[in-house]
């Protein structure tokens, strides 16, 4: 009997402990005023400062980190921006005049002024993130500032790049700058030894700005960081925010993540009010939807392609690349690789399909070769350039058996699955194909840069500016050289010019480079030429366009946006644009 | 004298002062060896991590692109890393690294824009050390106790069940335990949190809700460590006790009519000796396992930090994490060696 009593007491104690232990998470999720999410572009880093200039800094865009404006991700008008700390702006001769929100205040109650903007721009020069062609700024008033464009230059995205400047408080960051900072910046824009010396001075100043650790988070955004640990950040509503009345959540909890699996787990456990895009297989989607999450869908400005190193035989032959395009059944590959957030590429233009439709008239698009699955066409193309088939194996014009190795990085499950399916398709056609998986993305990128792969998976059709999409194909690929990113060199070894039906010889590199300086109207004919050249030269075969599939639950909040522009931006922006309300 | 003599046998070890002097010399020699080993491992890991293909800036930029970040914003984010990737010849970098190491400076993180590695490593260390040690202690106490029971009752059903459980648990790798626990208790039956060392809504400090939240968040990682090593302790203890039970001194104790508790004390002390060394050595094994366990639970310790550093090619942070784990293992070895002299009179005599 005594033993039974002890057992019952132990069980009761255990039950009490268990119920007590469960309490913390229950209380956290039960409050409808707490918005729980993940910042997919910025995982939390323990020990890193609350500083937006630090690559791993704990600073969260649209919550406590604010810009003057946010990109609307409008494929047709890549310079269209949402107002943020800038209420309005106007292009003037020699620059851009920006008018700050009249009621914009920091979370310590001090107003956001032109001095804050000037300090932020100085910091952007120091860390190297200033807008292209920006010469400096002129304060026109407490809430009005002019961004000066370098004389004699024109950048079609100047306004957009200027408005994407992150704004930090002068009260925190001003003291980090030497008194002669603007003389140094001005000197750095010149030429010769003095400019080099000034650039070196700015480089030396960078660690001071990047490592600075503010004791408290002074934010001009709708929230400020109250505290954070290695797994979560707690942000509290900034009552001084210029549109505070529109911000429904009292608190935001941002959770950390390392990979897609963590985000899936959170969603399946119903722990996120908003989950960012993650690549996922159909069975996971099923579990996620069953847990009460619903999808928000918008175009994503990125696609995946099978890219070729044209310097390697036989991929320099256009007919070979075209034949492979006919052999790859893109809808079937997409169904295997990216069934949830992928749409098979319809047109091979170097742009995602929705942007193609915005930039190219349907009459033009209808002339484009769509390279739909057609092994017979592939056969005739290959035979026309000297390939032969013997005993079910294709041989190259040089007599050697044609074998393909598709390169992918480990951890990209969608690419891996697609590559395996493609290898079966090509092998069945008579081209023995294997998949080579690099141990991780860093190794994969190095191998690509070293020219180790003849065919590899590659992200393309970047946006929203068409310049980004074509720069990814024809020169100016962003790569790294030593200490910094550089825009030289391309592993694709594409030709500089291409004789294009209907347009004659198209200067691929030159036209691509020129796109950055052109207005939308000026860029349209250039895009028509480049798209046609892409379709005919086919430097890479776009397999699928990624689709932005985000997830929300209606458990605590409702009123989610549907416009692609907002969905491509973080949720803090949605809030002051009138969305996300507590139930 | 039998090596398994009961501890009541007196051992002459000289005067107290001389004995401490010998122990001090022995400890000094061990520490010196340890320092040399740390420097050797630091050298090896330095060249190992720098031989990995990949560039941290390019990797970070392309990773952001893969996450759907626009090229201009991605370039903006990685700009903070400029200037932290050394372009000096590797041998010069090595010289600088070792010189800094002698000053306890592990360099600056590349991906965290020059944040001192020491700061980042020390921020993550508690979230590995506490669960690892908790898991080790829980599994050790449980495994050793039940191992003794399994040995004493080895002929009946309880003993057999315990032995089978030990074999079963020992055969399951750490990461399988972690994945299974995570799936069961964070997804299928979401009663435990994951991804955070404590609930951010609880104010940190010496208060009930915070401590409760801290413990609650650590339960699954600790359980994963404990379950993965429990079987090993049980089987080792069982085997050790069974060996000791067959020794003459146990029979002599029985014949002398000593109480069962006294007999058990003799047996336990002798059976425990080989386990003690293994206990401290297993610290290294548990640290190694943290890479899998922290990854599964998204728990922000050294293993989690190391995986991220490797993926991002943050060479100084990788070296810092490796070094910290190395120092922990070597320190555990020295401690094991030193403490053994107190536990085992034969070793003390030899010292």
Average pLDDT, integer, range A209-224: 96
* Residue B72 touches chain A, beta carbons under 8 Å: yes
According to DSSP, the β-strands at A251-255 and A34-38 are parallel
Average pLDDT, integer, range B172-191: 88
Compare A389 and B264 and report the one with higher pLDDT. A389
Residues of chain B with C-beta less than 8 angstroms from the C-beta of A20: 212
Q: Do A188 and A322 belong together in one domain?
A: no
Q: Do A522 and A425 belong together in one domain?
A: yes
Domain boundary among A159, A193, A211: A211
Average pLDDT, integer, range B54-75: 80
Q: Do A304 and A195 belong together in one domain?
A: no
Per-residue tokens: B18: 């001389």
- Nearest by CB to residue A233, choosing from B56, B70, B200, is B200
Residue A24's pLDDT band (cuts 50, 70, 90): very low
Residue B32 CB-density burial (10 A; 0-12 exposed, 13-18 middle, 19+ buried): exposed
Q: Do A201 and A315 belong together in one domain?
A: no
Q: With CA atoms as reference, report the closest residue to A335 among A343, A323, A324, A327.
A: A343
pLDDT > 80? residue A274: yes
Q: What angle do CA B282, B286, B291 make, to 5 degrees?
A: 155
Smallest CA–CA distance, residue B55 to chain A, in Å, is 7
Average pLDDT, integer, range B148-175: 90
Q: Do A348 and A497 belong together in one domain?
A: yes
Q: Which of residues 221-280 of B touch A (CB under 8 A)?
A: none
Compare A188 and B351 and report the one with higher pLDDT. A188
Q: Do the beta carbons of residue A25 and residue B193 sit within 8 Å?
A: yes
Pairwise CA distance, residues A276 & B36, whole Å: 48
pLDDT > 50? residue A20: no
* Residue A257 touches chain B, beta carbons under 8 Å: yes
The residue whose two tokens read 């086919």 is: A538
Judged by DSSP in three states, A544 sits in strand
Give the model confidence (pLDDT) of B215-274 as tens digits. Answer: 999 999 999 999 988 999 999 999 999 999 888 888 898 888 888 888 878 888 888 888
Q: Do A203 and A93 belong together in one domain?
A: yes
**Would A101 be classed as within a structural domain?**
yes
Q: Do A393 and A505 belong together in one domain?
A: yes
**Would A252 be classed as within a structural domain?**
no
Q: Taking the mean position of all CA atoms in its chain, how far away is CA B225?
A: 10
Most confident of A10-19, A70-79, A215-224, A296-305: A215-224
Q: Do the beta carbons of residue A533 and residue A24 sit within 8 Å?
A: no
Q: What pLDDT is attached to residue A479?
A: 53
Per-residue tokens: B256: 């002398």
**Would A463 be classed as within a structural domain?**
yes
Q: What pLDDT is attached to residue B195?
A: 83
A375-382: list long-range contacts, CB under 8 Å, 24+ apart.
A375/A326, A375/A327, A375/A429, A377/A323, A377/A326, A378/A323, A378/A324, A378/A326, A378/A327, A378/A429, A379/A323, A381/A319, A381/A320, A381/A322, A381/A323, A381/A326, A382/A319, A382/A320, A382/A323
Pairwise CA distance, residues A146 & A136, whole Å: 8
Per-residue tokens: A41: 């572009």
Q: What pLDDT is attached to residue B293?
A: 87
Smallest CA–CA distance, residue B247 to chain A, in Å, is 36
Q: Taking the mean position of all CA atoms in its chain, how far away is CA B124?
A: 14
* Residue A277 touches chain B, beta carbons under 8 Å: yes
pLDDT > 70? residue B45: yes
CB atoms within 10 A of CB A195: 14
For chains A and B, count residue pairs whose Cβ atoms are closer than 8 Å. 235
Task: Show the DSSP H helices in A155-192 as ranges.
Answer: 158-163, 170-173, 181-188
Q: What pLDDT is attached to residue B9?
A: 42
Judged by DSSP in three states, B199 sits in coil
* Residue B59 touches chain A, beta carbons under 8 Å: yes
Q: Do A198 and A305 belong together in one domain?
A: no
Q: Do A193 and A320 belong together in one domain?
A: no
Q: Is the sign of the CA dihedral A549, A554, A556, A562 positive or negative? A: positive
pLDDT > 70? residue A25: no
pLDDT > 70? residue A58: yes
Average pLDDT, integer, range A364-372: 95
Detail the DSSP E strand segments found in A203-332. 223-228, 232-237, 251-255, 274-275, 294-308
Give the model confidence (pLDDT) of A130-187 as tens digits. Answer: 888 899 999 999 999 999 999 888 788 899 999 999 999 999 999 999 999 999 999 9
**Would A280 be classed as within a structural domain?**
no
A319-324: list long-range contacts, CB under 8 Å, 24+ apart.
A319/A381, A319/A382, A319/A384, A319/A385, A320/A381, A320/A382, A320/A385, A320/A387, A321/A538, A321/A539, A321/A541, A322/A369, A322/A371, A322/A381, A322/A538, A323/A377, A323/A378, A323/A379, A323/A381, A323/A382, A324/A378, A324/A426, A324/A541
pLDDT > 60? residue B12: no
Q: Do A333 and A448 belong together in one domain?
A: yes
Q: What pLDDT is attached to residue A26?
A: 38
Buried b (16+ CB within 10 A) or exposed e, A246-259: bbbbebbbbbbbbe
**Would A17 be classed as within a structural domain?**
no
Q: With CA atoms as reference, report the closest residue to B196 among B297, B125, B307.
A: B297
**CATH at residue A150:** 3.90.76.10
Residues of chain B with C-beta less than 8 angstroms from the C-beta of A73: 70
- Nearest by CB to residue A464, choosing from B70, B79, B112, is B70
Q: What pLDDT is attached to residue A413?
A: 86
Per-residue tokens: A167: 């704004």
Which range of residues forms the domain containing residue A113?
Answer: 66-211
Average pLDDT, integer, range A62-85: 94
Give the model confidence (pLDDT) of A172-184 as tens digits. Answer: 999 999 999 999 9
Pairwise CA distance, residues B234 & B242, whole Å: 12
Mean pLDDT of chain B: 85
- Nearest by CB to residue A54, choosing from B67, B71, B113, is B113
pLDDT > 60? residue B302: yes
**Partner-chain contact A449 B77, CB within 8 Å:** no
Q: What pLDDT is attached to residue A161?
A: 92
Average pLDDT, integer, range B315-325: 92
Domain boundary among A184, A211, A238: A211
Domain boundary among A189, A211, A233: A211
Radius of gyration of chain B from its Cα atoms, rounded to whole angstroms: 25
pLDDT > 80? residue A228: yes
pLDDT > 60? residue A29: no
Compare A276 and B187 and report the one with higher pLDDT. A276
**Would A9 be classed as within a structural domain?**
no
Pairwise CA distance, residues A355 & A344, whole Å: 14
**Would A166 be classed as within a structural domain?**
yes
Residues of chain B with C-beta less than 8 angstroms from the C-beta of A71: 70
Give the model confidence (pLDDT) of A314-330 as tens digits. Answer: 999 999 999 999 999 99
Contacts of A312 by beta carbon, 8 Å cutoff, 6+ apart? A451, A454
CA dist A77 → A358, A359, B74 (Å): 9, 10, 20
The angle that helices B16-50 and B90-102 make with each other, rounded to 10 degrees, is 150
Give the model confidence (pLDDT) of A417-458 as tens digits. Answer: 999 999 999 999 999 999 999 999 989 988 888 889 999 999
The length of chain A is 583
**Partner-chain contact A24 B201, CB within 8 Å:** yes
Q: Give percent above pLDDT 70 in chain A.
A: 92
Domain count, chain A: 2
According to DSSP, the β-strands at A404-409 and A455-460 are parallel
**Would A47 be classed as within a structural domain?**
no
Domains located in chain B, CATH noted = 16-121 (no CATH), 126-300 (1.10.3720.10)
Q: What angle do CA B33, B38, B96 make, to 5 degrees?
A: 125
Smallest CA–CA distance, residue B321 to chain A, in Å, is 14
Q: Do the beta carbons of residue A460 and residue A303 sit within 8 Å?
A: yes
**CATH at residue A437:** 3.10.105.10
Q: Do A199 and A305 belong together in one domain?
A: no
Most confident of A374-383, B97-106, B113-122: A374-383
**Partner-chain contact A21 B212, CB within 8 Å:** yes
Per 3-state DSSP, chain A is made up of helix, strand and coil in percentages (nearest 5) of 35, 25, 40
Pairwise CA distance, residues A82 & A464, whole Å: 14
Contacts of B259 by beta carbon, 8 Å cutoff, 6+ apart? none
Instruction: Classify residue B49 by its DSSP letter.
Output: H
Pairwise CA distance, residues A79 & A466, whole Å: 11
* Residue A207 touches chain B, beta carbons under 8 Å: yes
Give the model confidence (pLDDT) of A474-533 as tens digits. Answer: 855 555 444 555 545 567 888 889 999 999 999 998 999 888 888 888 999 999 999 999
Please tell me which residue of chain A has the smallest CA distance to B71. Answer: A468
């Amino acid at each position: 009997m005594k033993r039974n009593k002890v057992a019952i007491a132990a069980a009761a104690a255990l039950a009490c402990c268990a119920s007590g232990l469960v309490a913390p998470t229950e209380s956290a999720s039960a409050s409808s005023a707490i918005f729980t999410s993940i910042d997919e572009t910025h995982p939390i880093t323990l020990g890193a400062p609350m500083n937006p200039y630090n690559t791993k800094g704990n600073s969260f865009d649209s919550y406590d980190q604010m810009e003057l404006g946010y990109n609307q991700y409008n494929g047709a008008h890549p310079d269209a921006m949402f107002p943020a700390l800038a209420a309005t702006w106007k292009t003037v001769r020699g620059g851009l005049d920006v008018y700050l929100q009249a009621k914009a205040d920091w979370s310590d109650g001090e107003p956001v002024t032109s001095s804050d903007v000037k300090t932020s721009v100085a910091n952007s020069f120091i860390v190297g993130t200033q807008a292209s062609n920006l010469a400096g700024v002129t304060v026109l008033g407490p809430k009005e500032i002019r961004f000066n464009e370098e004389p004699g230059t024109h950048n079609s995205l100047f306004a957009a790049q200027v408005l994407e400047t992150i704004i930090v408080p002068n009260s925190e960051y001003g003291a980090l700058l030497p008194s002669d900072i603007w003389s140094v910046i001005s000197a750095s824009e010149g030429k010769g030894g003095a400019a080099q010396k000034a650039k070196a001075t700015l480089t030396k100043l960078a660690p001071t700005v990047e490592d600075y650790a503010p004791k408290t988070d002074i934010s001009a955004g709708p929230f400020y960081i109250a505290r954070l640990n290695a797994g979560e950040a707690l942000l509290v509503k900034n009552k001084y925010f210029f549109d505070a009345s529109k911000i429904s959540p009292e608190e935001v909890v941002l959770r950390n993540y390392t990979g897609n699996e963590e985000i899936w787990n959170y969603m399946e456990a119903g722990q996120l009010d908003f989950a960012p895009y993650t690549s996922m297989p159909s069975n996971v989607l099923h579990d996620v939807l069953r847990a009460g999450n619903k999808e928000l869908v918008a175009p994503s400005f990125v696609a995946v392609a099978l890219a070729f190193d044209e310097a390697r035989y036989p991929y320099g032959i256009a007919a070979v690349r075209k034949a492979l395009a006919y052999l790859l059944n893109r809808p079937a590959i997409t169904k295997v690789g990216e069934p949830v957030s992928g749409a098979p590429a319809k047109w091979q233009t170097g742009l995602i399909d929705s942007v193609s439709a915005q930039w190219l008239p349907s009459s033009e698009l209808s002339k484009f070769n769509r390279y739909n699955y057609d092994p017979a066409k592939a056969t005739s193309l290959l035979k026309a350039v000297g390939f032969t088939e013997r005993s079910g194996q294709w041989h190259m014009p040089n007599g050697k058996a044609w074998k393909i190795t598709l390169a992918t990085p480990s951890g990209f499950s969608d690419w891996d699955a697609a590559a395996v399916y493609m290898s079966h398709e090509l092998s069945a056609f008579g081209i023995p194909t294997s998949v080579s998986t690099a141990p991780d993305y860093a190794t994969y990128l190095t191998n690509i840069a070293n020219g180790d792969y003849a065919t590899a998976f590659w992200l393309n059709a970047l946006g929203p500016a068409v310049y980004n999409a074509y720069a990814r194909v024809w020169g100016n690929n962003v790569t790294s050289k030593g200490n910094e990113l550089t825009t030289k060199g391309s592993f694709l070894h594409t030709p500089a010019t291409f004789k294009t039906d209907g347009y004659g010889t198209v200067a691929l590199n030159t036209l691509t480079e020129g796109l950055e300086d052109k207005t939308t109207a000026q860029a349209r004919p250039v895009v028509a030429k480049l798209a046609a050249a892409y379709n005919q030269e086919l430097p890479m075969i776009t397999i699928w366009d990624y689709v932005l599939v985000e997830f929300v639950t209606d458990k605590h909040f409702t009123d989610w946006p549907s416009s692609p522009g907002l969905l491509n931006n973080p949720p803090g922006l949605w809030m002051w644009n009138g969305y996300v309300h507590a139930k | 004298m039998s090596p398994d003599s009961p501890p009541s046998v007196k051992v002459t070890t000289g005067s107290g002062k001389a004995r401490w002097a010998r122990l001090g010399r022995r400890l000094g020699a061990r520490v010196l060896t340890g320092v040399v080993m740390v420097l050797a491992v630091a050298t090896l890991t330095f060249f190992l991590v720098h031989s990995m293909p990949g560039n941290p800036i390019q990797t970070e930029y392309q990773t952001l692109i893969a996450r759907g970040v626009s090229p201009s914003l991605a370039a903006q984010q990685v700009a903070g890393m400029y200037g932290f990737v050394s372009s000096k010849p590797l041998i010069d970098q090595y010289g600088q690294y070792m010189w800094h190491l002698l000053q306890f400076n592990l360099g600056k993180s590349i991906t965290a824009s020059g944040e001192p590695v020491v700061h980042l490593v020390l921020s993550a260390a508690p979230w590995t050390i506490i669960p690892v040690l908790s898991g080790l202690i829980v599994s050790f106490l449980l495994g050793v106790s039940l191992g003794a029971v399994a040995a004493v009752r080895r002929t009946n059903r309880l003993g057999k069940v315990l032995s089978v459980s030990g074999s079963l648990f020992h055969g399951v790798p750490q990461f399988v335990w972690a994945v299974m626990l995570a799936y069961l208790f964070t997804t299928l039956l979401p009663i435990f949190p994951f991804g955070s060392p404590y609930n951010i809504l609880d104010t940190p400090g010496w208060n009930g809700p915070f401590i409760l939240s801290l413990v609650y968040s650590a339960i699954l990682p600790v359980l994963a460590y404990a379950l993965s090593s429990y079987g090993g302790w049980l089987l080792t203890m069982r085997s050790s006790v069974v060996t000791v039970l067959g020794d003459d001194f146990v029979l002599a104790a029985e014949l002398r009519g000593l109480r069962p508790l006294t007999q058990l004390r003799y047996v336990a002390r002798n059976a425990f000796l080989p386990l003690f060394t293994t206990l401290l050595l297993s610290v290294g094994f548990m640290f190694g396992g943290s890479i899998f366990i922290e990854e599964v639970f998204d728990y922000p310790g050294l293993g989690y930090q190391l995986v991220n550093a490797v993926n991002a090619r943050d060479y100084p942070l990788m070296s810092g994490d490796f070094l910290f784990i190395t120092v922990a293992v070597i320190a555990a070895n020295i401690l094991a060696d030193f403490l053994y002299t107190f536990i085992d009179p034969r070793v003390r005599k030899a010292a």
